[in-house]
Structure 1
Amino acid sequence: MKKAVFFDIDGTLLDCINGIMDITPRVKMAIRKLQEKGDYVFIATGRPYAFLSSALLDFGFDGFVLTNGSYVILNDKCLYKEAIDKEVIIELTSNFEKHDIEYILQGEKYSYIKDEHKKLHSFYDTYNISKKYLEGNYKLEDVDIYKIEMLCENTHGIDYCLSLEDKCFNYIYNSEDGSFELYSKRSSKASGILKILDFLNIPLENSYAFGDGKNDIEMLSTVGCGIAMGNADDYVKGYAKKVTDTVQNDGVALEIEKFIL
């Protein structure tokens, strides 16, 4: 029976903050061995398509669970998508403007960010995000949005963003840099993974996931075996069945080699 293995990007396959901008050779080799056995390999990320590097897109993954499960690609075709209601997007962006919150609207292929959001642009430069699929000129009524990320630098902006959890949204807040991720409560990496497993008729016990962040908790606790990175918070590790080493020490490869293969 084939297996399906899902990989988070940031803090799992990559560590852009600490200079690991591409999948390391040992991890690449381990993933290739899975493919050689006929197993499936997928990316499961909070990132939208626009934030995927050409190296990730060209690697040969079988599909992508994007924007925390609200947009799912299998074999280069959309398997599932659920955009946020346009009227909700219009209301949110209006309030973001009032509270001096910089934001990016994440769509299917393109993501939409105003040129004047300089600090948010700089934030993504840190992660080596290409501007190829970033669009500054857009009309809200013409685009479908699956996730929003915001950057807040004042108390009233942070308070407003925190209040959105009561409006059918999940959010992830990083107090160190004032960044937020906002997405529908109906979507998660786990929900996207389950759609892929159902389509491919792969039993849950034959699924594995690697992750390190709070948006990985659902998938780590849902798949047959969730594997937390050594660099993950202890809180996240509590939801995993296994804990491997850090990104720097090729944690993904170690667990693939000694456990999954």
Structure 2
Amino acid sequence: MEKAIFIDLDGTLMRKDLTISFENIEALRKAIQEGYRIVIVSGRPIRFVKHLADTIGQGIDTIGFNGAYSSNLIEYPISEDDVRALYDLFESNNVSVIFKSIDHIYANKEIIKHFIYPIANNVNVEYTEYCEIEQIKNKKIYKILGLYNNDETKVNNLLDKFDITKAFYVNKGFELTHKNANKGNAIKLYCLKNNISLKDSYMFGDDVNDETMFSLGGNNMVMGNATDDIKKYAADICDTCENNGVGKMIEKILREKNND
């Protein structure tokens, strides 16, 4: 069976400036040469994930929207009924949210500029501010990103009645996807399709949306910048994201493999 390295982006492989370091890229290329499949598994929209994968080179597979979309493998948009109900809920409670499709983002209020991401060289995703429900009701929405600009507990409680996947980030916001969409389910499907051995594969991550992949039974490589709640899943702790933690750990894995 083949082996794979599954890697989160934010706080893991990608720096705060939305780039991947030369050191990390070189380590990933070495892993490919050693026979590992490299899969970027991110909460980010799929076009941005593919754009970053292209900076590494050919042969990088991608899963976006926290496991809601991967070309020729997964497609889990949030239901139109849920999108409409959630839109009305957020509007009535003055919650700032962004609805994300494959190639567009729709904000119910003014867009926060750092949520506008590149999808190709010198090309950013298109966006709509102060969107109306009519503008998104027929679109495939794969992820909803919300911000806590009022009572965090109240917002979380309002979402309880929806049968969707939820990830809550303390003092920041939340992410919503289809009930079957999470990184763990996506990785299981990927491994089944590609005859990948989970027990011989590696999972790199740092945050709550990585917990489902850390629960699969692979080798969990948790970033040094992760919280203690996430570090409890770790088989090993990497250096921090900004200090090339992924690249250093991959180099260590390859050295140990070659010394066996």
Aligned to 1:163: 158
Counterpart pick for 1:148 among 108, 122, 144: 144
Render the CA deviation track for 1:139-160: whole Å, top value 9, x for unaligned.
32321112101123122x7513
Aligned to 1:124: 115
Q: Cα–Cα, structure 1 residues 162 and 134, in superposed 2: closer, same or farther, change >3 Å? A: farther
Identity %: 28
Distance 1:181 1:42 in 2: 21
Aligned to 1:113: 106
Aligned to 1:134: 126
Q: Cα–Cα, structure 1 residues 123 and 161, in superposed 2: closer, same or farther, change >3 Å? A: farther
1:167-178 mapped onto 2 (5 Å cutoff) = 167-177=162-172
TM-score, structure 2 normalization: 0.85
Aligned to 1:71: 69
- Secondary structure (helix, strand or coil) at the match of 2:113 reads helix
Render the CA deviation track for 1:5-52: whole Å, top value 9, x for unaligned.
111000001231xx4x31111111110011112321011111112544
Distance 1:117 1:53 in 2: 27
1:85 CA displacement: 1.1
Amino acid at match of 1:196: Y
- Secondary structure (helix, strand or coil) at the match of 2:199 reads helix
Aligned to 2:174: 180
- Secondary structure (helix, strand or coil) at the match of 1:139 reads helix
Aligned to 2:27: 30
* Residue 208 (structure 1) aligned with residue 202 (structure 2): yes
Distance 1:248 1:88 in 2: 37
1:163 CA displacement: 2.8
Give the length in aligned residue pairs: 247
Distance 1:223 1:105 in 2: 32
Distance 1:181 1:225 in 2: 25
* Residue 4 (structure 1) aligned with residue 1 (structure 2): no
Render the CA deviation track for 1:93-144: whole Å, top value 9, x for unaligned.
011111112211122x223314x622x423525xx55673233277323211
Distance 2:2 2:50 in 1: 28
Distance 1:11 1:158 in 2: 25
- Secondary structure (helix, strand or coil) at the match of 2:78 reads coil
1:64 CA displacement: 1.3
What is the CA RMSD across the aligned residues, in angstroms? Answer: 2.3
TM-score, structure 1 normalization: 0.85
Unaligned 5+ residue runs, structure 1?
A: none
Q: 2:62 touches 2:70 (CA, 8 Å); kept in 1?
A: yes
Unaligned 5+ residue runs, structure 2?
A: none
Q: 2:42 touches 2:49 (CA, 8 Å); kept in 1?
A: no
